[in-house]
A = this chain, B = another copy of it.
Amino acid sequence: MERNGDFGSGRALAGPAPPLPRRVVDVSGHAVGRDFVLIAGPCAVESPEQTLLTARRVKAAGAHMLRGGAFKPRTSPSAFQGLGARALEILRAARDDTGLAIVTEVMDPRQIGEIGEVADVFQVGSRNMQNFPLLRELGRTDRPVLLKRGMNATLDEWLGAADYVLAGGNDRVILCERGIRTFETCTRNTLDLSIVPAARTRTPLPVIVDPSHGTGRDDLILPMSLAAVAAGADGLLIEVHPDPPRAWSDAQQQLTPDAFDALAAAVRALVAHLGGTCP
């Protein structure tokens, strides 16, 4: 192939892909990297009712963790920025009620303490994948970090970002593919599932997939979730909202609780077919 002199170099580094040892990241008793994990919840925390209702439904469907944005990175400062501290209280209440572990995004190293009082997993969004001061600070915490791939990050850059967390002494990093930016406009991003097996040849860290942001289309989430499982993903991150059309953000890509029930069932059956476990 004449295009990339270094194409496949990652693999060259890894040689004929000897299966790397897999790292298991413990999150509130869930063995991410060994057992398949389902993380679900609304794009943004909007109200106690919306969040609690969603938490109970995804818990009933078999989800292990609840995602929900308290502080939202938005392209425009005039867009909804999240409920902030109030959202954290709502997430805490949802955890107390359902027992679900909480995954929420942190953008500012100065907020790690505040968010850390509620978050069981710190999410680093794609816009902050190379926010090195934030990554360094998270490396000094005792909390797992869910590191989303940047919209234009190569595998080398993604692993380099993870190294900033690992270098601080925190070895509990979970990688999350969420789609890359390409010329195609019929989807919000292009979900790069090949990065899952490609990453396996380079790192022992677990790799999960976010088909909600990866496609931006609720009608593509189920098939791409199954595809992610088949590609070898260690888990899924799915946006679920009680009333997607009325969602304050990402209305096009959130599933209804009923749709998530069907997705969770199909995913669990596929994980079992492929010989995996999903407690």
Contacts and interface: CB of A to CB of B under 8 A. Distances in A.
B182 A194 contact: no
Contacts of A220: 194, 197-198
A186 B10 contact: yes
A182 B182 CA distance: 6
A175 interface: no
A177 to B, nearest CB: 11
Contacts of A273: 269-270, 273
Given A154-B184, A184-B154, A215-B194, A73 B127 contact: no
B219 A223 contact: no
A8 B224 contact: no
Contacts of A74: 2, 132
B223 A1 contact: no
Given A2-B157, A131-B131, A230-B230, A184 B188 contact: no
A181 B152 contact: yes
A187 B231 CA distance: 15
A228 interface: yes
A177 B183 CA distance: 15
Contacts of A181: 3, 152, 183
A137 to B, nearest CB: 9
Contact of A7 (B151, B163, B186, B195): B186
Nearest to A232: B223
Interface string A107-142: 111110000000000000001101111001000000
B154 A132 contact: no
11 contacts: A75-B161, A76-B160, A77-B163, A107-B131, A131-B131, A151-B152, A152-B152, A187-B195, A193-B224, A197-B220, A227-B227
Given A7-B187, A155-B186, 10 more contacts: A4-B188, A8-B188, A9-B185, A17-B219, A75-B157, A108-B133, A151-B152, A198-B220, A227-B231, A270-B274
Interface of A: 1-11, 16-17, 73-79, 107-111, 127-128, 130-133, 136, 150-152, 154-157, 160-161, 163-164, 167, 180-188, 190-198, 201, 214-217, 219-220, 223-224, 226-232, 249-250, 252, 269-270, 273-274
